[in-house]
Amino acid sequence: MQAVEKQKLANFLDLTRNYLGSGYKGPQKDYNFKEDSPVFKTGSADTIDKIAEEIRACRNCRLRGTRTNAAPGEGAMSPLVMVIGEGPGMDEDKQGRPFVGRAGQLLDKMLASIGLSRNTNTFIANVVKCRPPGNRDPDSEETSSCAHFLERQILLLKPKFILAAGRVAAQTLLKTSEPIGKLRGIFTELKVKEIIFPFLVTYHPAALLRNEDLKRPAWEDLKLLRSRLEAANEITNLSEPVNSGGG
């Protein structure tokens, strides 16, 4: 049921109660109802496409009114790495795809430098699937509304490693307020349901575009991820690539 339908029903019930009680019409109350989640058939198994369908139909938070397109995520279905960012920006909102603007182009270069690609062995998503107005940080209501989508994606894809790109993604997933400087550069664990995933934090590529001083530590993070992929025999040894922070 839509929020406006709930409000109309509540107004009717309030009006009926007032007339049966005092006989007078009282002031209308705004109950701030939320809309119900869209209902989908549950007979078939959960799939990435099904989650994407639900995301595009979702109206669970205020971002439904300001988005152009939701960006569910894209990439390999059996990924070595799942990259999780903050949320769509202007270009992502237009195209309905994650990381396709300048920051996304830099992310693709960074991943390619260690043998990763959204076309072959990486899946890319965000903690929120719709663009916050003005590219502001998503608030707790918005991240909470999207949390079950991301959780289902992680559990279906079962990536070997998860790379959080940026402060918002790292803090949201780890449920912490620690600054990114203390979170990045070390492997920790992310527990989703009962499954543990190796988890690494690095700077968001948009931050590298704003501050070139972050390129070197971001490259150190990528080398750490590459070393873990090599140690797990998930990727062949690579020669030292060109600095991924450029361009």
Separation in Å, CA 97 to CA 66, 112, 176, 214? 16, 19, 27, 25
**Segment 148-158, tens digit of pLDDT:** 999 999 999 99
Query: Can you give the pLDDT at residue 233?
Result: 86
Quick count: other Cβ atoms within 10 Å of Cβ 170?
A: 28
Q: Whole-model pTM? A: 0.79
Assigned token pair, 103: 């920051």
Reduce the DSSP state of residue 202 to 3 states and report it: strand
DSSP letter at 35 equals P
pLDDT attached to residue 44:
54
Q: What is the pLDDT of residues 178-199, one digit of tens each?
A: 999 999 999 999 999 999 999 9
219 CB contacts (<8 Å, ≥6 apart)? 243, 244, 245
Distance (Å, whole) CA 130 – CA 150 = 13
- Beta carbons within 8 Å of 160's beta carbon, 6+ residues apart: 79, 80, 81, 198, 229, 232, 234
Q: Which residues of the chain have pLDDT under 70?
A: 1-8, 19-20, 23-26, 28, 31-44, 236-247
Are the beta carbons of 165 and 105 closer than 8 angstroms?
Answer: no
Handedness of CA 53, 59, 60, 64 (dihedral sign): positive
* Contact in structure between 84 and 125 (CB atoms under 8 Å): yes
Residue-level pLDDT at 36: 52
- For the structural domain made of 72-231, what CATH number should be given? 3.40.470.10
